[in-house]
Amino acid sequence: MKWLVIFFVSLLIVGCAYSIKDINISNSDPCCVRDCSKTYSQCVSGGPSVGAKTETLRACKEAYEICVNTCPAK
């Protein structure tokens, strides 16, 4: 029974993770992507210390994706 609880908790944790790895940056200007990455890092580190960190991560990921999509092509 304990393993079932551990399994569902781990699924919940994995489901709440946000990653920028799946955003395609291969055709974007590297300097622009670097600036977007700096902004993303500041966004993530400036999130709330109390509350839902996952909402902050989601918002930061969406902002990063928008930033990368506005970068000029290589």
- Of 57, 61, 51, 52, which is closest to residue 22 (Cα–Cα)? 61
**Is this structure's pTM higher than 0.85?**
no
pLDDT-derived band at 73 (thresholds 50, 70, 90) equals: very high
Confidence of residue 47 (pLDDT cuts 50, 70, 90): low
CA 13, 39, 34, 63 torsion: positive or negative? positive
Query: Binning pLDDT at 50, 70 and 90, where does residue 3 land?
Result: low
